[in-house]
Structure 1
Amino acid sequence: MNGASRMETATRAGFAARGLMYLLVAFLALRSGRTEDGAGALKLLDSDVGRAVLAVMALGFLAYGVWRLAEAAIDSEGHGSNAKGLAVRAGGAVSGLIHLGLGVYAAKLAAGRPAESGGAEGGAATALSLPGGEGLLMVAAAALLATAVVNLLKAVKGGFLKHLDAQAAGQAWVKWVGRGGYAARGVVFAIMALFFWRAAQAASAAQAGGIDEALDWLTGWPRLLVAAGLGLFGVFSLVEARYRRINDPQVLARLQGAGRRLVS
């Protein structure tokens, strides 16, 4: 197995890890009303048997994070440099950083080491400790809002299907599972953007919030609907783990083109 094949396998493990994480978040919210972010959901696997799963998930999260950051940096999927393309790439970069953090967190749990996740509030507190911290939180809010818009557009237009093999993309249930999942993520990211904007305005990290706070902010049937949608996104992520086109010819051609530009 060459380097590209190993990276593809690890990235597919990342899609599967993301899927399991979202399924856990949805299960907790729907079964017991307990809201957790990704890190909180991973703690459910912190046991002797679960640590082996966490080790595999850690590798997958790290590979997925690297892949998303590289994708955003060199535009390997051809989103372009216009406003829409930059918004999509910015969302990909944010996703990459988040999954790198989840990879480190899962690795610590797998090694049996105490692992604390600062979550959204911890990240906001770190930003506020830096010069211009309020501005950094506003940038984070803008990036989260852009990510929300991208997810909602995917839900409406079904653009996510173009990244799947035809075998999966032609299935109606895959289309509707993906639409429900992306719509729920769009709502969650929009609420998180509001939280980070408020944190910037008040210069208070306590105002920031992640997936768990976003679900808590919702009540009644909207919370149940969004939680169910996150579960659908978990299922769609498992579909991507099998059918996502990662090393398709167009992406490889763009990577080669980027490489030629770097050495020229």
Structure 2
Amino acid sequence: MSTSESMAPGDGKDWLKTAARAGYAARGLVFLIVGYFSFRAAFASGEAMDTKDAIEVIAGSGFGAVLLAAMVLALAAFAIWRLIQVVMDVDDHGNGAKGLFVRFGLLISAFSYGGLAVYATTLLIGSASGGEEGGSSGKSGAIAYAYEQGYGVWLTYLIAAGMAAAAIAHLVKAAKAGFEKYMALPEDRRWLLKPICQFGLSARALTFIVLAVLLASGAAGYQSGDTPGLDAALQEISGWSFGWAFLSLTGLGLIAFGVYSITEAVYRRIEMPDVSNVG
């Protein structure tokens, strides 16, 4: 496509691409914070955190309101981009078993980051209860309802299976460097960015594996959908033999995953559907 075509009046793709890149950057910032606190917790008395805790850290910063507003917009944009990936199949995953599997994972991601955007919104408008209680209530709302209706255990097993599948997908992507298919990494930086991205994906896979085990093993005993999140997975890792070493390595890996997300924000090939005729 020529430059003149890409800048044609009425083309709705540019703002969508910008929004998608902002979403990747927002995800990167969240995991940089989570990874940093996980690494610090391995050597100090601090505790590991999940993505909602990271949002609370941003809220408590010097420019909290401004940053929160930006995070709300960026995370919402990322959730919308995920939905576009699912519905429009802009990455050509196809309708085969593998393609549908990948697109289902993207759908789960859309709901996850959409929920995180909603949580950031509650903090922004001052309606969150604050502290850990606020994070927990936001995390377990949908699952709590499922437990109240009597099918929470099976939903938890389904989520655990989804976590295990996501772990496998991340490990395969890391091993085969499958992300390069969708990114235009500059050759002079590829030698550094490629292994960082692989390390980050592997660390994210580890947290998914631990979460899947925690969810499956405790599904029958949860009350009101009080299921574990990323912070619980990291705390579980810290309890292993030489847990401090595994936790510090995982923390560094989640920082690398944050770098991976920011790398996507900069270098990902984002193919948008033609939205000029929508309406």
Q: What is the aligned partner in structure 2 of residue 221 from structure 1?
A: 245
CA–CA separation in structure 2 for the residues paired with 1:107 and 1:169: 40
CA–CA separation in structure 1 for the residues paired with 2:76 and 2:141: 20
Contact 1:169/1:175 (<8 A) preserved: no
> Secondary structure in 1 aligned to 2:95?
coil
How far the C-alpha of 1:170 sits from its partner, in A, is: 6.4
Q: What is the aligned partner in structure 2 of residue 194 from structure 1?
A: 213
How far the C-alpha of 1:167 sits from its partner, in A, is: 2.2
CA–CA separation in structure 1 for the residues paired with 2:139 and 2:215: 9
Q: What is the aligned partner in structure 1 of residue 50 from structure 2?
A: 37
Q: What is the aligned partner in structure 2 of residue 260 from structure 1?
A: none
Q: Which moved more, 1:3-12 or 1:163-172?
A: 163-172
Q: What is the aligned partner in structure 2 of residue 95 from structure 1?
A: 109
Q: What is the aligned partner in structure 2 of residue 3 from structure 1?
A: 12
For the structure 1 residues 83 and 204, does the alpha-carbon distance in structure 2 shift closer, same or farther, using more than 3 Å as the test? Answer: farther
Contact 1:37/1:212 (<8 A) preserved: yes
Q: What is the aligned partner in structure 1 of residue 204 from structure 2?
A: 185
CA–CA separation in structure 2 for the residues paired with 1:165 and 1:187: 27
Match of 1:66 among 80, 89, 104: 80
Q: What is the aligned partner in structure 2 of residue 261 from structure 1?
A: none
Report the AA paired with residue 209 of structure 1: P
Is 1:143 matched with 2:162? yes
CA–CA separation in structure 2 for the residues paired with 1:126 and 1:196: 17
How far the C-alpha of 1:76 sits from its partner, in A, is: 2.3
For the structure 1 residues 22 and 28, does the alpha-carbon distance in structure 2 shift closer, same or farther, using more than 3 Å as the test? Answer: same
For the structure 1 residues 203 and 52, does the alpha-carbon distance in structure 2 shift closer, same or farther, using more than 3 Å as the test? Answer: closer
Matches within 5 A, 1:95-174: 95-114=109-128, 116-117=134-135, 118=137, 120-167=139-186, 171-174=190-193
Match of 1:80 among 91, 94, 103: 94
Q: Which structure has the bigger radius of gyration?
A: 2
Report the AA paired with residue 267 of structure 2: Y
Is 1:231 matched with 2:255? yes
How far the C-alpha of 1:146 sits from its partner, in A, is: 1.0
Contact 1:144/1:189 (<8 A) preserved: yes
Q: Which consecutive unaligned segments of at least 5 residues does structure 2 have?
A: 1-9, 238-242, 275-279
Is 1:54 matched with 2:78? no
Please provide the CA RMSD for this pair.
2.4
**Structure with bigger RCO (C-alpha 8 Å, 6+ apart):** 2
For the structure 1 residues 165 and 196, does the alpha-carbon distance in structure 2 shift closer, same or farther, using more than 3 Å as the test? Answer: same
Give TM-score, length-normalised by structure 1. Answer: 0.86
Contact 1:52/1:110 (<8 A) preserved: no
Q: Which moved more, 1:41-50 or 1:58-67?
A: 41-50
How far the C-alpha of 1:90 sits from its partner, in A, is: 1.6
CA–CA separation in structure 2 for the residues paired with 1:190 and 1:74: 29
**In the TM superposition, what whole-angstrom CA distance separates every residue of 1:186-238 from its partner, at most 9, and x where no partner exists?**
11111111222224343545772111001000122111111110000111111
Greater share of helix: 1
Contact 1:182/1:233 (<8 A) preserved: yes
Aligned length, in residue pairs:
251
Contact 2:174/2:198 (<8 A) preserved: yes
Q: Which moved more, 1:51-60 or 1:84-93?
A: 84-93
CA–CA separation in structure 2 for the residues paired with 1:169 and 1:74: 33
Q: What is the aligned partner in structure 1 of residue 230 from structure 2?
A: 211
CA–CA separation in structure 1 for the residues paired with 2:260 and 2:188: 11
CA–CA separation in structure 2 for the residues paired with 1:113 and 1:208: 23
